[in-house]
């Protein structure tokens, strides 16, 4: 996976960049085959003194785009929030993809011998080999 870490109006130490690359690399365990990841750190909205840093995480692959935005007091905290959101969204995406490829089939009410039950026995299924006590 190609991982790009950028900062917009925010100074990013090399430790934060390395931490971001390691954390985003671990997201591949939720859904294989993501091709590209971009991490963008920027200043938070004006007036939010407690959360001055925003981290936007965008993953691209399989024809899908997964975005997650995290806000925190420090770049590390914002990254953790974004990683948690992205992990949840990747899990949901994988569940949808697997469910689409393996549809569930309804069980029909057919007796064990292959005949349909009578109208009067509609709610009951016959089981062969069990004797009444």
Distance between CA atoms of residues 91 and 124, nearest Å? 39
* Rounded CA separation 125/133 (Å): 18
Question: Kindly report the CA angle at 25 between 19 and 27, in degrees rounded to 5?
Answer: 115
Give the mean pLDDT of 44-60.
Answer: 81
Q: Is pLDDT above 50 for 112?
A: no
Per-residue confidence band for 117, with pLDDT thresholds at 50, 70 and 90: low
Taking Cα atoms as reference points, which of 39, 30, 42 lies closest to residue 4?
39
Evaluate the CA torsion angle 76, 79, 85, 90 in order and state its sign: negative
2-101: CATH number: 3.30.160.100
* DSSP, res 113: T
């Amino acid at each position: 996976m190609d991982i790009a870490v950028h900062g917009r109006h925010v100074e990013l130490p090399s430790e934060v960049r390395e931490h971001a690359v390691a954390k985003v690399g671990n997201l591949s365990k939720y859904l294989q085959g993501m091709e590209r990841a971009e991490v963008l750190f920027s200043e938070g909205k004006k007036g939010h003194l407690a959360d001055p840093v925003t981290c936007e995480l965008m993953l691209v692959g399989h024809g899908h785009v997964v975005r997650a935005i995290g806000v925190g007091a420090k770049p590390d905290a914002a990254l953790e929030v974004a990683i948690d959101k992205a992990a949840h969204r990747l899990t949901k995406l994988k569940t949808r993809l697997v469910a689409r490829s393996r549809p569930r089939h309804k069980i029909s009410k057919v007796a064990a011998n292959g005949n349909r039950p009578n109208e009067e026995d509609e709610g009951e299924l016959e089981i062969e080999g069990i004797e009444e006590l």
